Amino acid sequence: MRYEPKTITLKDGTQALFRAPEPEDAAAFLDFFSAVRTETEFLLSGPGDPLPTPEEEQAWIANSLDSPAQMMIACEMDGRIVGNCQIVLKPNAKNRHRASLAIALRQEYWGRGIGTAMFTELFTVARAYGVTQLELDYIEGNDRGKALYEKMGFRPWGELPDGIRQSDGSMRKLIYMRKVLQ
């Protein structure tokens, strides 16, 4: 699924370009992912985990654009990729009403309303595909993520004890949230 590009004015008046990632962005995306993994401990992969090769990343982006079940939206500011979010739709008649969301931004760009704007766009996409339940999970302690999700209408429904082992060896819960989309 391909997102049509849109310029978003953020709450500080600066502009962000939301657009579909293209296969030729593969190297820029790998730079983005490798940087963002060092800036937060609240993603599911960390600096010690392998990254795709540029060829694998290129194929992943092309596949996402062709797929009827997922869409990515990249955020470009200052001439570089500073954020990405994704919606993945469930495939079958029994779960086609559900989709999961994920998001990550470069630290320098946190707190400027990009997360809010990205989720608003993902909600529009979800509605267009008849999705009525959105799902996500976050790592215990991710207060900024939690604040975004609660603000956007997600509510917790369960948690997995010891779902994550952080790099310092501490165990964290995975908190599961959902939002009923009106």
59 touches ligand COA by CB under 6 A: no
Buried b (16+ CB within 10 A) or exposed e, 48-78: eeeeeeeeebbebbeebbeeeebbbbbbbbe
Q: How far is CA 134 from CA 2, 59, 82, in A?
A: 19, 27, 24
Residue selected from 111, 127, 160, 170 as contacting ligand COA according to rule CB under 6 A: 111
Q: 139 near 42, Cβ under 8 Å?
A: yes
Closer CB to ligand COA, 59 or 176, in the complex = 176
Residue selected from 29, 32, 138, 154 as contacting ligand COA according to rule CB under 6 A: 138
Stretch that binds ligand COA, among 50-58, 101-109, 122-130, 167-175 (CB under 6 A): 101-109
- Minimum distance, C-beta of residue 112 to ligand COA, in the bound complex (Å): 5
Closer CB to ligand COA, 89 or 177, in the complex = 177
Q: 176 near 140, Cβ under 8 Å?
A: no
Nearest-CA neighbor of 144 among 152, 18, 45, 172? 152
Stretch that binds ligand COA, among 92-100, 120-128, 144-152, 154-162 (CB under 6 A): 144-152
Contacts of 118 (CB under 8 A, 6+ apart): 18, 73, 75, 83, 85, 103
Residue selected from 14, 22, 40, 52 as contacting ligand COA according to rule CB under 6 A: 40
Stretch that binds ligand COA, among 13-21, 72-80, 114-122, 166-174 (CB under 6 A): 114-122
- Minimum distance, C-beta of residue 66 to ligand COA, in the bound complex (Å): 26
Q: How far is CA 10 from CA 7, 77, 112, 122, 133, in A?
A: 10, 11, 7, 17, 27
70 touches ligand COA by CB under 6 A: no
33 touches ligand COA by CB under 6 A: no
Cα 97 from Cα 127, distance rounded (Å)? 10
Binding region for ligand COA (CB under 6 A): 40, 42-43, 103-105, 110-116, 138, 142-145, 147-148, 151
